[in-house]
Amino acid sequence: MDPAQELYRKNLDLVYANKTLELIRELDEIAIGAQAVEDVVQKFIDTICTRLGFVEGLVVTADERGEYLSLIGLTPTAINKRAMEALGVKVQDVRFVVRQDENDLVDVFLAKSPKVTKGMGRLWSPLVELGEVGENQVYVFPIIAGSRRLGCYAVTTAAGVETMTEFERVVLARLAPVFGLAIDKVRVGQELREAQDREMARVKELDRLKDEFVSLVSHDLRTPMTAIKGYVYLLLKQREGLPSEAVRQLQVVYDSSERMIRLIGDLLDVSRIEAGRMQLSIEAMDIAGSAAEVREELQPQVLERKLSLEVARTGEVRVRADKARVHQVLVNLVSNAIKFTPEGGKITVGFEKKGGEVITHVADTGVGIAKPDLGKLFTKFGRLDSSLVGISRAAGTGLGLYVCKKVVELSGGEIWAESELGKGSTFSFSLPAC
Amino acid sequence: MATQRLYEEVLKNAGHEVTTASDGQEGLRLAQEGGYDVILLDIIMPKLDGIEVLTALKNSSPKRENGPIVVMTNLSGDPIIKQALELGARECFVKTELTPDQVVEKIQKLVG
């Protein structure tokens, strides 16, 4: 070959290489974005035909057991159209029986190697016998993933073109595994999504059953608790006429029953939260008013432990939240403060307006919380190792703060704590102002 | 039935006249005869539940007029409570949240 021819040849090679890379890149992008196999295949065959100048194309894929080759994509061109009209069915209903039909697609599928034939119409036999099969060359290629047969695809050259160019032959062969990978990837993706959906549905159903169970059990546990709390309360009303030891013992029974009742409530709350069934009635409310109510309620405990509890006198502080739940959170935080603050200590509840939110601070001069424990505070059953957990009339279960966190977050706020061992702690939560 | 006896005692001691029913069906019968200043209705009951009783009362007129119906339950399902209120209950209480004195207080306010 003379140098000029050599150069020309090398240039041509480069052009072809470029074209191939471009095409493969384009197909890769299609494969990445695709959600459904039909999508990928249709786009593939359209792209291949457009870029390489083929006139018609079609693609068949095999079922899992390799018994059928189903039509999955085809260019809407002359012979294809005629065949589909003649069959009168939808694309997804067209299929060849592998062990039975005499067909080039089947041959290529089984042999895993390409074939050349003439006349696209021939590929439709024996499903439909088109009298006019066409004159163009047809190239049939297998689609493979690894060593697995996935199907095959066929393309026809333009009229008058008798043979495939070297470039075309190389590219089409090169595309077979790309095709295979793309189909595989999309199939796996689809199967994964379906498995995920099934799993999610199962988990949801389990959560619902659990929630129902917990609701029933809570009700049944509360029934005797009502009687216990009620009658002990009545006995305590007669304390004047009872020995002081008996009164003390009755008080313990009363406090324990209240704790039990609170625990049942917390369990119910946690179950509802996890099943996504906690419903909040959000309304405009005065959180300072709620805090004042809580102060009244917890006054007996405060006095007994010789503490002082102050709520900032700010007038109305309006937030958007569920009134009952805000009350619950405040009782929880203040009760904890009471529990962990030794005699003579001080608890304050204050409010801060900041950027469209109201932050409520519950500060105490109590024993404080160690840094490593701060992270565990708002988790389920996050008990701290500091054992100042004496018999106390304050609330306090492993679930209380967890429920507070969920309630605050569901209301659009955040909850956090700051503390210094030996000095005290401040628990704060934010809620949308209004 | 311990809870019912508890409330019966406490309300009687507060000076009220109390009639009790042992199941939902009897409760409905008494309510339909009517003449009560307040009706305390549980939800979980034998024979007829509280919601069924409320529904039946909504669709009928008692022989003698009744005062408000107060649902007292240990269920705390907001849907149930909402349903009870929609069916005509004046208020709903969770029994474990109230002391006997608070129950008497609430009743007194409604009868008041």
Q: Flag if A264 and B96 touch (Cβ within 8 Å).
A: yes
Shortest CA gap B98–chain A (Å): 8
Label residue A78 exposed, middle or buried (CB < 10 Å: 0-12, 13-18, 19+). Answer: middle
Q: Flag if A231 and B99 touch (Cβ within 8 Å).
A: no
Other Cβ atoms closer than 10 A to A69:
26
Q: What is the pLDDT of residue A160?
A: 66
pLDDT in tens, B81-109: 889 999 999 999 999 989 999 999 999 99
Helix-strand-coil percent breakdown of chain B, rounded to 5? 50, 10, 40
Provide the residue-wise pLDDT of chain A in tens; the chain has 434 residues: 688 888 888 888 888 788 878 888 888 888 887 778 888 888 888 888 888 888 889 999 998 888 899 888 888 888 888 888 888 888 888 888 888 888 889 999 999 888 888 888 888 888 888 877 788 888 899 998 888 889 999 998 877 666 777 777 778 887 888 888 888 888 888 889 999 999 999 988 888 888 888 888 999 999 999 999 999 999 999 999 999 999 999 999 998 898 899 889 888 888 888 877 888 889 999 999 999 999 998 888 898 889 999 999 888 999 999 998 999 999 989 988 998 899 999 999 999 999 999 999 999 999 888 888 887 788 776 555 444 443 233 344 567 888 899 999 999 999 999 999 888 999 999 999 98
Q: Flag if A229 and B99 touch (Cβ within 8 Å).
A: yes
Q: Flag if B76 and A261 touch (Cβ within 8 Å).
A: no
Interface contact A215, partner B, CB < 8 A: yes
Q: Which residue of A215, A231, A279 is in closest CB contact with B6?
A: A231
Shortest CA gap B63–chain A (Å): 33
Residues from chain B that touch A226, judged by Cβ atoms under 8 A, are 2-3, 6, 74, 95-96
| C-alpha to C-alpha distances, A138 to A23, A57, B29, nearest whole angstrom | 20, 9, 88
SS3 state at A25? helix
Residues from chain A that touch B81, judged by Cβ atoms under 8 A, are none
Q: Which residue of B73, B94, B100 is in closest CB contact with A234?
A: B100
The residue type of A1 is: M
Q: What is the pLDDT of residue A413?
A: 94
Q: Are A347 and A309 in contact (CB under 8 A)?
A: yes
Interface contact A225, partner B, CB < 8 A: yes
Q: Flag if B2 and A224 touch (Cβ within 8 Å).
A: yes
DSSP A230-278: HHHHHHHHTGGGS-HHHHHHHHHHHHHHHHHHHHHHHHHHHHHHHTT--
Q: Flag if A219 and B74 touch (Cβ within 8 Å).
A: yes
Q: Are A204 and A265 in contact (CB under 8 A)?
A: no
Q: Which residues contact A238 (CB under 8 A, 6 or more apart)?
A: none
What is the largest distance, in Å, between two alpha-carbon atoms of chain B? 35
CA distance A394 to A380: 19
Question: Which residue of chain B has the CA closest to A254?
Answer: B99
E strands in chain B:
39-41, 69-73, 91-94
Other Cβ atoms closer than 10 A to B93:
17
Q: Which residues contact A411 (CB under 8 A, 6 or more apart)?
A: A280, A282, A320, A321, A322, A325, A431, A432
CB pairs under 8 A between A and B: 49
pTM of the model: 0.62
Q: Which residue of B94, B95, B100 is in closest CB contact with A233?
A: B100
Question: Which is higher by pLDDT, B6 or A395?
Answer: B6
A344 φ, ψ (degrees, to nearest 5): 85, 0
Residues from chain B that touch A279, judged by Cβ atoms under 8 A, are 78-79
Q: Are A52 and A168 in contact (CB under 8 A)?
A: yes
Q: What is the pLDDT of residue B112?
A: 72
Q: Flag if A229 and B10 touch (Cβ within 8 Å).
A: no
Q: Flag if A218 and B95 touch (Cβ within 8 Å).
A: no
Other Cβ atoms closer than 10 A to A19:
14
Q: What is the pLDDT of residue A98?
A: 86
Q: What is the pLDDT of residue B84?
A: 93
Q: Are A40 and A132 in contact (CB under 8 A)?
A: no
Q: Flag if A225 and B3 touch (Cβ within 8 Å).
A: no
Interface contact A426, partner B, CB < 8 A: no
Q: What is the pLDDT of residue A384?
A: 52
Residue of B42, B96, B101 for testing the chain A interface, max A β-carbons within 10 Å = B96
Q: Which residues pair with A97 in a beta bridge?
A: A68
Label residue A320 exposed, middle or buried (CB < 10 Å: 0-12, 13-18, 19+). Answer: middle
Interface contact A222, partner B, CB < 8 A: yes
Exposure letters B40-77 (e unless 16+ CB within 10 A, then b): bbbbebeebbbbbbbbbbeeeeeeeebeebbbbbbbbb
Q: Are A385 and A349 in contact (CB under 8 A)?
A: no
Other Cβ atoms closer than 10 A to A75:
23
Residue of A208, A223, A250 for testing the chain B interface, max B β-carbons within 10 Å = A223
Q: What is the pLDDT of residue A392?
A: 32
The stretch B47-68 carries a mean pLDDT of 92
Residues from chain B that touch A218, judged by Cβ atoms under 8 A, are 74, 76
Q: Flag if A219 and B6 touch (Cβ within 8 Å).
A: no
Q: Flag if B3 and A226 touch (Cβ within 8 Å).
A: yes
Q: Are A228 and B74 in contact (CB under 8 A)?
A: no
What sign does the CA torsion over B50, B53, B59, B65 have? negative
Structure tokens at A276: 């996504």
Q: Which residue of B6, B75, B94 is in closest CB contact with A227?
A: B6
